[in-house]
Amino acid sequence: MSGPGPETDALALAVAEVVVADPAVARLDGGVFGDVATHLAGRKLVGVRVDTDPARPVEVGVVLHLGTPIPVVVAGLRARVARVVGARPVDLTVSDVVPGPVDAMVEL
């Protein structure tokens, strides 16, 4: 269960910060049913699920901007998240892609 706890909260917030800092990430995403989330004290962080059991994977759901090839973005995100979560496994899901900022679009 992803639930409250100072360590879980801090880890979920750190993962979210690292992920949304990537310019290829449009936003975090909770998945079809919104179940990729961590319940923080007084709120819900959608798009990152950190379980109290360290053997369970840290789950991250993202929507990406079109542009950089998805496998390249995913590899970079996995590496950055792994530096934050240590030995915990990481499951990263790309839920959707959206057009990027106008200045990042490639003209044909």
| pLDDT-derived band at 8, boundaries 50, 70, 90 | confident
Q: What is the CATH number of the domain that holds 18?
A: 3.30.70
Mean of all residue pLDDT scores within the chain: 89
Q: At residue 67, does pLDDT exceed 80?
A: yes
* Tens-digit pLDDT profile for residues 23-44: 999 999 999 988 999 998 889 9
Helix residue spans in 21-92 (DSSP H): 70-85
Whether 105 is covered by a domain: the verdict is no
Whether 52 is covered by a domain: the verdict is yes
Whether 106 is covered by a domain: the verdict is no
Whether 108 is covered by a domain: the verdict is no
Whether 10 is covered by a domain: the verdict is yes
pLDDT at 5: 66
pLDDT above 90 as % of the chain: 72
Could you tell me the residue range of the domain that residue 54 belongs to?
A: 6-99
pLDDT at 42: 85
Distances in Å between the Cα of 14 and the Cα atoms of 5, 58, 62, 67 are 14, 12, 15, 25
Question: Regarding predicted confidence, which is higher, 46 or 34?
Answer: 46
Overall number of domains in the chain: 1
